[in-house]
Amino acid sequence: MPTALITGASRGLGAEIARQLSATHDLLLGGRPSPELDKLATELDGASTFAVDLTDHDGVAAATEAIGELDVLVHNAGIASSLEAVADTPADEWREILEVNVVAAAELTRLLLPALRAAGGHVVFINSGSGRRVNARWTPYAASKFALRALADGLRAEEPDLRVTSIYPGRIDTDMQRDIVALEGGEYDPRRFLTVNSVARAVVHAVTTPAEAHPEEIVLRPTGRR
């Protein structure tokens, strides 16, 4: 079977992407070492862990050395910002969010390009609505997602033998979303958000699109209907 590496796979959207791809792909489950990651690998037949902190570039380089071919790379790992105004966001927070959301994805892609080229592979970036527009108090996060969009577009232009897809979901019903709503001071209503199932299905749709077609962008917005 083809092989897929999914970052941020220990929970939420990443875990659901893994579950939906498990029937058709051998999986490398990316994430920091954790019981959750190990449990998912045990649950999914044929899955292995890619247990490394993506900001540890030496560790990532060592972990990728044995990967000779890779059919699918799904960049799902990422963090949100503290929802402060530009006037209140220190340089350290800018550095952290750009390091995790952009630099880590760029470096992992760079290291895996030989394996992706060998397989004629597919790179999927889980972006965000914030990668297409900026709302107040979301500027650092949006900046990282605009940069992730540029990374995907540049990779697509430079690597014509690969397929590169950016997926732009609206807000998703996850534990991270609950934390964000708490920061915003609102009440949590999951009906306002996309399900991880719907977004994972978009990833599967992109990956299983016949080879003669290139799904470059997929935009998903919640309807409020379940």
Structure tokens at 118: 């060998």
Q: Confirm whether 141 is a catalytic residue.
A: yes
Q: At residue 160, what is the residue type?
A: P
Quote the CA–CA distance of 62 and 136 in Å, as a whole number: 40
DSSP string covering the chain: --EEEESS-SSHHHHHHHHHHTTTSEEEEEESS-HHHHHHHHHSTTEEEEE--TT-HHHHHHHHTT----SEEEE----------GGG--HHHHHHHHIIIIIHHHHHHHHHHHHHHHHT-EEEEE--GGGT---TT-HHHHHHHHHHHHHHHHHHHH-TTSEEEEEEE--B-SHHHHHHHHHHT----GGGSB-HHHHHHHHHHHHHS-TT----EEEE---S--
**CA 107, 111, 113 angle in degrees (round to 5)?**
110
Given the residues 50, 125, 141, 146, the one annotated as active site? 141
Structure tokens at 34: 């954790």
* Active site amino acids: 141
